[in-house]
């Protein structure tokens, strides 16, 4: 197993993590920004106001993207399993 192969496996893992988490984190970020903007405009400073919409938005995004996330994770896992012979050399 060469250093280039290890770097490639790590790069594929990081890319997969970022690709899978980006939609979910993005929705939480957008919802949080919108609610913060609303709080700044109306001067409502309630800390729990952001919690429920973020949870609902993130859960809906997980529900909508779960088939896509599962396929990406399955492909990544299959790739790792198929490369095991190259890892033990």
**Greater confidence, 45 or 14?**
14
Range of the domain at 76: 3-87
Its pTM stands at: 0.76
For residue 49, what is the DSSP state? Answer: G
Q: What per-residue confidence (pLDDT) applies to 87?
A: 77
- Residue 24: pLDDT band with limits 50, 70, 90: very high
Alpha-carbon distance of 44 to 30, in angstroms, equals: 19
Length of the chain (residues): 89
Burial, 6: exposed, middle or buried (Cβ in 10 Å; 0-12, 13-18, 19+)? exposed
Beta strands, E only, 1-89? none
- Residue 3: pLDDT band with limits 50, 70, 90: confident
Compute the average pLDDT of residues 68-80: 94
Q: Could you tell me the two tokens for 2?
A: 């060469």
Count of domains for the chain: 1
């Amino acid at each position: 197993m060469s250093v280039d192969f290890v770097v490639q496996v790590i790069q594929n893992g990081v890319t997969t993590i970022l690709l899978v988490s980006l939609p979910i984190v993005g929705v939480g970020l957008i919802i949080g920004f919108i609610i913060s903007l609303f709080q700044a405009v109306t001067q409502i400073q309630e800390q729990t106001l952001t919690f429920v919409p973020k949870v609902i938005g993130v859960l809906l995004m997980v529900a909508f993207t779960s088939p896509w996330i599962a396929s990406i994770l399955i492909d990544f896992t299959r790739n790792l399993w198929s490369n095991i012979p190259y890892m033990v050399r």
